[in-house]
Amino acid sequence: MARSRKVLSFCFIQITAFSCLFFMAISQLSPDFYSDICPQALPTIRLVVYAAIVKEPRMGASLLRLHFHDCFVNGCDASVLLDDTQSFTGEKTAGPNNNSLRGFDVIDEIKAAVNLACFGNIVSCADILAVAARDSIVAVSFLQVNFF
């Protein structure tokens, strides 16, 4: 049971990774998109992510999961960050996420730091979620953090 669940989730990650590569290929996303308009963007995200993981190792997994849940509903558009309003229940508090997703505070911290570093609101929240997930993986393996 546990093994088949692991195999299933491995397959799911493979399919997700393949879909991401496919969409990157057709939409011509570029890993150095911010190098001209704000060269400090990616190093700033990495710095805040590393600091958060050093402070609490489990945050690495939480930031990866946050990105995954963001992509789950209609693409990786940062919709998971939307707060509820009186007439709208956001993804943040929807069934699978309510009291379960973590790391919103770290994303807020990254957004504030990046807005300072870029002198304005240049870096999209969707990109922050994606880059923070990537940097989390690197940080966790680099710091040899055991987050299980």
Cα-to-chain-centroid distance, residue 34: 17
67 given a catalytic annotation: no
Alpha carbon separation from 136 to 27, 39, 66 (Å, rounded): 25, 20, 11
Minimal distance, residue 95 CB to ligand NAG, in Å? 6
CB of residue 142 vs ligand NAG: minimum separation in angstroms?
35
Residue pointed to by tokens 């489990």 = 58
| 19 or 89: CB nearest ligand NAG | 89
Q: What's the CA gap between 1 and 96, in Å, rounded? A: 21
Cβ closest to ligand NAG, residue 82 vs residue 122 = 82
100 binds ligand NAG per the rule CB under 6 A? no
70 in a labelled binding site: yes
Which of 14, 89, 100, 141 binds ligand NAG (CB under 6 A)? It is 89
Half-sphere CA count of 121, side-chain side, radius 13 A: 3
Least distance (Å) between residue 82 CB and ligand NAG: 13
Which of 44, 60, 66, 69 is catalytic? The answer is 69
Residue 47: closest CA among 109, 91, 96:
109
> How many chain residues touch ligand NAG (CB under 6 A)?
4
Helices (H), 28-142: 34-37, 41-55, 59-72, 104-117, 125-142
What amino acid positions are annotated as catalytic residues?
A: 69
Write out the binding residues for Ca(2+). Answer: 70, 73, 75, 77, 79, 91
Q: Which residues sit at the interface with ligand NAG, rule CB under 6 A?
A: 89, 93, 98-99
